[in-house]
A = this chain, B = another copy of it.
Amino acid sequence: MKRIEKVADMAKTSRILAAEGKSIGFVPTMGYLHDGHLALVREAGKENDVVIMSIFVNPAQFGPGEDFESYPRDLERDAALAEKAGVDILFHPSPEEMYPEESDIRILPGRQADVLCGASRPGHFDGVLKVLTKLFHLTRPERAYFGQKDAQQLAIIETFVRNYNFPLEIRRVATVREEDGLAKSSRNVRLTPEERKEAPAIYAALKDGARMLRESGDPELVLGMVRNSLGRIPDAEADYAEILDYPSLRPLSAESGEAIIAAAVRFSGARLIDNILVPLEGKTS
């Protein structure tokens, strides 16, 4: 596995690969790798000649008071995991490499970013689109891999790539979970032992909600139940719970083919998100 730290080296390497006609699968991450990331790498390995992973804790997508400083990092452990999973090139630039000058050109993600995490983390998706545009240009992938766990990010990126004609496909990869159902996340290590025991209740609430939505079909009723369940987690405070059309993230309508039930929950050391997709009857597509 080749390791690259410099933007100029990454650009040169991908330029050579592109001119050789090699297909590149790209897995952008913030590091502290878990099985969810490695599932992305495996998918990328199946479909491409070369797999590039980036590890970059992007300051532009953290707001004031968020956990940029305390976000878990362990580059050497990550490099070993990435190599073992089949990454060919690991790109891990410094913030100074990625943002060598103050830039006031912004990408605003539009209405899809007004709900869920976008509502409680203003500017977050601006920062995501900024860094992904840079990373896509630096790595020139034919396909880029994202986990369904970050469902809103995935929906916004799909729209962005389509509207701006990026020459690549976005691949959705299913959320990887612990045996007790908790979605794998780099932030899980920041839970106290007690919180870790409580955290699977998030997915349990979403699963109950999905079952109820398929059975009763009344989103208001279902949402009330989900919020109620999340409210009963002793050490957690629900940030939001919503049921929306996916991937438009608009309110559900008679035309909706798929619903998302999404939640964010704050424990003392970490804010966790999870979601579940529910195909709807009367699906039009």
A57 CB to nearest chain B CB (Å)? 18
**A165 beta carbon closer than 8 Å to chain B:** yes
Can you give 11 contacting A-B residue pairs, CB < 8 Å?
Answer: A7-B165, A11-B167, A15-B167, A18-B19, A20-B21, A104-B110, A104-B111, A107-B108, A130-B164, A134-B165, A138-B167
* Cβ 8 A contact of A110, one of B103, B111, B134: B103
**Complex Cα–Cα for A108 and B164 (A):** 14
Residues in chain A within 8 A of chain B (CB atoms): 7, 11, 14-15, 18-21, 101, 103-111, 129-130, 133-134, 137-138, 140, 159-160, 162-167
Determine whether the beta carbon of B107 is less than 8 Å from that of A106. yes
**Complex Cα–Cα for A140 and B165 (A):** 11
Tell me the nearest residue of chain B to A134, going by C-beta: B165
A247 CB to nearest chain B CB (Å)? 13
**Complex Cα–Cα for A15 and B23 (A):** 11
**Complex Cα–Cα for A104 and B20 (A):** 36
